[in-house]
Amino acid sequence: MAGWSYEDRGTPGDVFEVNSIVVTPDPPEVAKDLLIKVTGQLRQVPDAETYVEITVKLGLIKISRKQQLLSELLEEWGASVPTKTGPFTLELSRTLAKDTPPGKFTIRADGYTGADEDAFCLEFSVDFMTPPT
């Protein structure tokens, strides 16, 4: 696999229903600015305690796991939590670290409301082994 892919692993009752994710550049490149545009439907406004558990694997090895409030995570990516139900668009941007090692990464983001109800579940695969053409 060269490039990237994502899979919505959420359930039909999730707070966020993701319709599409588009990245620029496609595929993502180390040490370059990355723009991620997420569109979907919001079933309920996330509460202030909505959080995300992020797990990063390099191949089969878990290299990172952290839990963070959704509002803080989105702020780091230059976005904010949607404030009304219905269609939403999030535009996230960040420069990818230039010291990212070559490899095939899996990033899983599990979102939960403050009451520990499912908010969303996304899994990304990114291949930094194959240089972009």
Which of 22, 16, 19, 34 lies closest to 110 in space, CA to CA?
16
Q: What pLDDT, on the 0 to 100 scale, is given for residue 67?
A: 98
Global pTM value: 0.91
Q: What pLDDT, on the 0 to 100 scale, is given for residue 13?
A: 87
- E strand residue ranges, 32-132: 33-42, 51-58, 61-69, 86-95, 104-112, 118-127
Mean pLDDT per block of 10 residues along the chain (133 residues) reads: 86 93 94 96 95 96 97 96 96 93 95 95 92 59
Instruction: State both tokens at 17.
Output: 């229903």
Q: What pLDDT, on the 0 to 100 scale, is given for residue 1?
A: 47
Specify burial of residue 86 (Cβ count, 10 A radius: 0-12, 13-18, 19+). exposed
